[in-house]
Amino acid sequence: MRYLDPVALAKLKNLRLELTRMATEGHSSGRHRSLWKGFSHDFAQHRAYVPGDEIRAIDWKVYARQDRFYVREYKAENILTTHVLLDASGSMAYSSGGREPKWEQACRLAMALSYLILAKGDAVGLALFDTLPRQFLSPRASFSHLELIDTALSSCRPEGETDLAHVLERAAARIRRRSLVILISDLLGEPESILKVVKAFQARRHEVLVLQVLDPQERDFNFSGPTVFEGIEDGRELFCDAGALRQDYRFEFERTLKAYESTFHRSEIAYAPFFTDLPWDLNLARFLTRLG
């Protein structure tokens, strides 16, 4: 696989994705406790046998003592469903200083998190989007699903414009069961609209993780003199004196990052910026440590 080769797997060896606040509500066997009764290793209670119960659930020792049929019930351990939402708009193709594009780091993060989720016995799916959803892979709890995710990422090219808030609204309407939602994007757009929609996921009782992937040049703006900037998404050109704009640009950039950080923190949404001048595995390890 392109984004999960043996070197990448070795880097994930000691990483874990732990969400102590997440309580699932499914019916399948997995590793997350719920109030549903099912089959696991922890006994919950006996109840009287009723027609239709499986014979193997009968506690024969109780029958031998009381001459009545009772069924053993256990605390269910349910599969956590995860949806990875990955921004595939043109701005994700940006890179500077010979570094890999934001898209490449975003894909590696998506694959790494998918692997960690599957390693816990949970289910993961993928949605690629720009102004509209491009591709949607339903969640599966099988390691063979990684091949499909890797193929989808490898065949996709970041291009076109994005309407992040609109896409997230559509995704929120589609994800009905309580889930873990992982958003990977550069979050370029109207912060107020994006924050509003991300918090709407939480209002629907989803757990939300936000990974903002950025190139350090988008933070530092180390341009000077007369410069022509060409929009990656719409192709429009802007001619300006970059040096004269640097201070104001950096101020606005920092203000936006602080708005994301403070709002997500107040909402108890896990968030972190991931700059591409650091290795993806180091970025991810730091993020996961904060979750624990």
Provide the number of structural domains found in the chain.
2
Residues 58 and 113 in one domain: no
Residues 73 and 87 in one domain: no
Mean pLDDT per 10-residue interval, the chain, length 292 residues: 93 86 45 45 68 75 87 67 94 93 97 95 92 87 94 93 83 84 91 87 89 96 88 80 91 94 92 96 94 74
Predicted local distance difference test score (pLDDT) of residue 37: 45
Predicted local distance difference test score (pLDDT) of residue 26: 43
Residues 265 and 225 in one domain: yes
Closest by CA position to 165, among listed 114, 131, 134: 131
Residues 60 and 112 in one domain: no
Structure tokens belonging to residue 24: 């699932």
Residues 91 and 58 in one domain: no
Residues 159 and 53 in one domain: no
Residues 184 and 120 in one domain: yes
Evaluate whether 137 touches 149 at the Cβ level (below 8 Å): yes
CB atoms within 10 A of CB 108: 23
Q: Where are the beta strands (DSSP E) in the chain?
A: 32-48, 70-78, 81-87, 123-129, 133-140, 180-185, 207-214, 226-230, 237-241, 270-275
Predicted local distance difference test score (pLDDT) of residue 23: 44
Residues 49 and 150 in one domain: no
Expressed as residue numbers, the domain containing 106 is 6-22+80-291
142-145 CB contacts, 8 Å cutoff, 24+ apart: 142/118, 143/118, 145/114, 145/118
| Residue 148 forms part of a structural domain | yes
CATH of the domain at 165: 3.40.50.410
| Residue 27 forms part of a structural domain | no
